[in-house]
Structure 1
């Protein structure tokens, strides 16, 4: 899979022909199509039913989005006010409101929650779950996704479709921009049902464009609905919409995420329509990239130009689950799958379950914050959570060097032993949770021992050096670095020297000064020691930004 990704271009600027005419198809509220200099539709402090407007969040082609507070429940919501001129008639408004109310009945963790609907100045609005984060399109600009990450995200997208389709609701405009990845790490599909009302454009291909079965296109008087790159043949041809149009979009997204390019090219809407609606088969994913045969066949099935041949959302979800867990090794018959009081290691990742939401949230926190604390009482599984949950998920996404240690009675020696090349835990090695031993002269070459001893002394004298060492390792290995300090309470139970405690906390917290650096620090701590961490100015400052 490609490690580079070019900036995505908005589909809204594709000319229908060689003229300069453009069409707008986006429903992204942040897309700057509407008049940026005009006054907002509502002012801060205004009340819309029981929602008090706080501020304008974005203005786009479909209207405006405001941050507001529910005066009854006190929670923040996102108010999406739809511009009335996009709907055309009261009947269209009523259809939109009906579909929004239907979607509001969903109870699915991966569908954005609609808290309420209403009207203001003749414009309908939706009160939505307020999510801080970014959409999948923005994530793709940041970096390419690994295969496992692609499967995980698309599985929850398809599970959301499965829920919607079971209620007779289609999305109609599924695309990366409509998949939000908030700070809790749980992807949400947004804008269910809005596309049918908000993305009409007179962009039908000319009559010479054939249907997949070879017959001519329908009369030009009908309109296509959707975002061109993700539209199925029946959407281009304005045929009856079924759940198969969403499955087509799933196929396009899977193809794009794996191959780093769209399955159908074309510089104009007409050329895109011709590629999608022509009689030839859809491109094969495995002609471009090396992917499992099962995935290539699934994408081909989703991109079948005959709608009736495409699988259902339930079938797609089942096949994605099988692909996602294909490498899970069963526990041997002579070994118990239950660890009891024993900690889980990275070898036990396939047996570690039940904390999926927490793992996803912490991984997302690590993307945004350089320092994360795992705090809990004794025996709740903090170490297992990191070793069998977080570390395997991080490695699933991109290369990481993992450095794991326990402070012990000589924390700087333990740290130095992990930072030297000999002591590092590389991508293919499992790290013991026991504190690393300082090797004697007879067990290790004198040069390596001297290096550890010298580095330990340098770190103790200049704790900020740790951030430089971690960046050096990141440069050498060309990957990110995660330093895991397990059972940090040992710094206070096994070390009597307060100055050593202060300097060690300064060292690990000095890494937490820039979220753009490749180094991250995670430490686990008993909750009754949380108040003892602020032993230095750096630690106090870092703890104001730490995610617990």
Structure 2
């Protein structure tokens, strides 16, 4: 059997593993679907080329970290079953995940932010577990993130390919000159051959977050162009590539991809948590401004807004109790000068539901206070014109009353009777009045007799004579 990783080993045996087909290929290894003939279970078998196995430093690191990684029990780290060397080739047998990798899910198009965050937060938790044990993955990329939806209600993530993980690693190449990792997601210190730690994986995770949201990695082009971008360049802002994304995500990715490890987040989980917060709608846009209170808008004249200068004269719509009674605290009540920072209503603007009753509601439930008085006008001139209507109505009513009183009183003094001393200037005609009146003279004034006439049995009363 040859140790060339370019050769297809399908149908052959590698120790106790029967190779059934190719799952994927990389620059240094090939992933096969295989069967453990001893246990009868399906596994993913990663085979590393002979040229890397010949590097003593690489072999030592591979064996050491394979042992450490296989001892980690984490829900988002793919379990390692076995590792070893056969026919000059190093191999690792791990759990076969029935699903796809994150690279296939991205597929050159942006993912939904909520889905991307839901997947990457599982990756972040797995990486922090490795880092707490002093291990560094060094090859965090979408192709090494396996996603399945057949094991739980939500998409479950497994971080795979720990063959390059090492403790206290420095450098980025083997003695043969092979780069350990993927330049597309490699941190600057990784490319420069400087000491590495968990923040190196965090940089790769930030690049992967960028790829999920943009549908492309932060730097594109040939290998040299990509390396220069990681060392000295700045990735285009995510909000420019995908305008629907908020600009806050640019700051999160920028900090995760900081050139210096000291400028990045403390953990991978902290990076993804900040990204989730940045992608959520800004609550400040919907929150009321300081010092202001939301006021319900009236519909059809009901529930009119509270006037900024305090309670309006007369009963308020929907308010119970006696006229002038103040509403209970916390129920539309404001200070006479309005809430702090409130803008006074424009002079003369009458809020809906105040003053005259709205159409369809009839007269107000309560009229003016007993006794015919009217509520006092508001002390602030800018409170509207309702009080002017009350004053004008009072003037009209009082004026009408005075006019009616004068009319009726004058009619009594100028009745239809004449004054007592009023005399007639017209000569009365001669009227015969009986015996003894041959002369034709009148009998005289009342109370007097003439000639031999008998005295009258009654005394006529002349109206207005004062008798």
| TM-score (norm: length of structure 1) | 0.44
Does residue 188 of the first structure (1) align with residue 158 of the second (2)?
A: yes
Does residue 161 of the first structure (1) align with residue 114 of the second (2)?
A: no
Does residue 303 of the first structure (1) align with residue 269 of the second (2)?
A: no
Residues 261-276 of structure 1: pairs in structure 2 closer than 5 A: 261-265=216-220, 267-276=221-230
Deviations 1:86-120 (A, max 9, x none): 23323421210111111111111211110121221
Residues 244-393 of structure 1: pairs in structure 2 closer than 5 A: 244-265=199-220, 267-278=221-232, 281-289=234-242, 290-311=244-265, 312-320=267-275, 322=277
Deviations 1:428-454 (A, max 9, x none): xxxxxxxxxxxxxxxxxxxxxxxxxxx
Residues of 2 paired with 1:296 and 1:68: CA distance? 43
Identify unmatched segments of 5+ residues in structure 1: 1-32, 203-220, 329-548
Kindly state the Cα deviation for residue 142 of structure 1 after the two structures are TM-superposed. Answer: 7.7
Deviations 1:216-250 (A, max 9, x none): xxxxx987532222111112212112212211111
Residues of 2 paired with 1:302 and 1:195: CA distance? 21
Does residue 95 of the first structure (1) align with residue 61 of the second (2)?
A: yes
Residues of 1 paired with 2:237 and 2:110: CA distance? 20
Residues of 1 paired with 2:52 and 2:251: CA distance? 39
Contact 1:224/1:235 (<8 A) preserved: no
Residues of 1 paired with 2:92 and 2:278: CA distance? 37
Kindly state the Cα deviation for residue 59 of structure 1 after the two structures are TM-superposed. Answer: 6.8
Deviations 1:451-479 (A, max 9, x none): xxxxxxxxxxxxxxxxxxxxxxxxxxxxx
Deviations 1:506-543 (A, max 9, x none): xxxxxxxxxxxxxxxxxxxxxxxxxxxxxxxxxxxxxx
Residues of 2 paired with 1:324 and 1:273: CA distance? 29
Instruction: Pick closer, same or farther for the CA change 1:142–1:230 going to 2, 3 Å.
Output: closer
Who is 2:189 aligned against? 234
Who is 2:72 aligned against? 106
Q: Which has the higher contact order (CA 8 A, sep 6+)?
A: 1
Residues of 2 paired with 1:242 and 1:76: CA distance? 34
Contact 2:121/2:272 (<8 A) preserved: yes
SS, match of residue 156 in structure 2: coil
SS, match of residue 126 in structure 1: strand
SS, match of residue 174 in structure 1: coil
Does residue 178 of the first structure (1) align with residue 144 of the second (2)?
A: yes
| TM-score (norm: length of structure 2) | 0.51
Residues of 1 paired with 2:179 and 2:276: CA distance? 33
The RMSD of aligned alpha carbons is 3.4
Kindly state the Cα deviation for residue 183 of structure 1 after the two structures are TM-superposed. Answer: 4.5
Residues of 2 paired with 1:188 and 1:324: CA distance? 24
Residues of 2 paired with 1:118 and 1:126: CA distance? 7
SS, match of residue 79 in structure 1: strand
Deviations 1:127-161 (A, max 9, x none): 10011222111112285411111111111111111
Q: Which has the larger radius of gyration?
A: 2
Deviations 1:261-285 (A, max 9, x none): 33224x333332322222x655433
Who is 2:21 aligned against? 56
Residues of 1 paired with 2:70 and 2:215: CA distance? 34
Contact 1:282/1:303 (<8 A) preserved: no
SS, match of residue 128 in structure 2: helix
Who is 1:133 aligned against? 99
Contact 1:103/1:192 (<8 A) preserved: yes
Kindly state the Cα deviation for residue 201 of structure 1 after the two structures are TM-superposed. Answer: 6.1
Contact 1:174/1:250 (<8 A) preserved: yes
Contact 1:252/1:262 (<8 A) preserved: yes
Instruction: Pick closer, same or farther for the CA change 1:222–1:77 going to 2, 3 Å.
Output: closer
* Residue 42 of structure 2, aligned match among 65, 73, 76: 76
Equivalent pairs, count: 270
